Amino acid sequence: MGRVAGLAGVSVRTLHHYDEIGLVRPSARTAAGYRAYSPGDVERLREVLAYRRLGFGLREVADLVGDPAGDAVAHLRRLRALLLERRAHADAMVAAIDDELRARATGATVTPEEQLQMLGARLYDAIGGAYTATRRTDPRIAARIWAALEGARTVLNVGAGTGSYEPGDRDVTAVEPSAVMRAQRPAGAARCVAAAAERLPFADGSFDAAMAVSTVHHWRDPIAGLREMRRVARRVVVLTFDACEPGWRDRFWLTRDYLPEFGDLLADFPPLDGMADALGARAEPVLVPWDCADGLFEAYWRRPGAYLDHRVRRAMSVWTRVGPEAERRAVRALGDDLASGRWAERNGELAGLDTADLGLRLLVV
Distance CA 60, CA 52 (A): 9
Residues 236-265, interacting with ligand SAM (CB under 6 A): none
Length of the chain: 365
Determine the straight-line distance between the first and last CA of the chain, rounded to whole angstroms: 69
Distance CA 259, CA 225 (A): 28
**Residue from the set 148, 196, 226, 318 that interacts with ligand SAM by CB under 6 A:** 196
- Using the rule CB under 6 A, give the single segment among 153-161, 246-254, 285-293, 327-335 that binds ligand SAM: 153-161
Relative to beta strand 360-364, strand 233-241 is antiparallel
- Using the rule CB under 6 A, give the single segment among 31-39, 98-106, 193-201, 251-259 that binds ligand SAM: 193-201
**Residue from the set 130, 158, 179, 272 that interacts with ligand SAM by CB under 6 A:** 158
**Residue from the set 61, 145, 197, 259 that interacts with ligand SAM by CB under 6 A:** 197
What's the closest the beta carbon of residue 178 comes to ligand SAM, in angstroms? Answer: 4
**Residue from the set 173, 178, 240, 255 that interacts with ligand SAM by CB under 6 A:** 178
The 93-132 contact track toward ligand SAM, x by CB under 6 A, reads ------------------------x--xx--x--------
By rule CB under 6 A, what count of residues binds ligand SAM? 24
Which residue's CB is nearer to ligand SAM, number 61 or number 155? 155
Cα of 168 vs its chain's centroid, Å: 24
Q: Is 297 in the site for ligand SAM (CB under 6 A)?
A: no
What's the closest the beta carbon of residue 331 comes to ligand SAM, in angstroms? Answer: 20
Q: Is 231 in the site for ligand SAM (CB under 6 A)?
A: no
- Using the rule CB under 6 A, give the single segment among 42-50, 175-183, 244-252, 281-289 that binds ligand SAM: 175-183
User: Residues 288-327, buried b or exposed e (16+ Cβ, 10 A)?
Assistant: bbbebbbbbbbbbbbebeebbbbbbbbbbbbbbbbeeebb
What's the closest the beta carbon of residue 92 comes to ligand SAM, in angstroms? Answer: 11
What's the closest the beta carbon of residue 198 comes to ligand SAM, in angstroms? Answer: 6
> 156, 257, 165: which is closest to 207 by C-alpha?
156
What's the closest the beta carbon of residue 160 comes to ligand SAM, in angstroms? Answer: 5
What's the closest the beta carbon of residue 183 comes to ligand SAM, in angstroms? Answer: 11
> 298, 338, 303, 336: which is closest to 318 by C-alpha?
298
Distance CA 350, CA 300 (A): 11
Q: Is 146 in the site for ligand SAM (CB under 6 A)?
A: no
What's the closest the beta carbon of residue 259 comes to ligand SAM, in angstroms? Answer: 17
Phi, psi of 269 (to 5 degrees): -75, 130
> Which residue ranges make up the site for ligand SAM (CB under 6 A)?
117, 120-121, 124, 135, 158-161, 164-165, 176-178, 181, 196-198, 213-215, 218-220
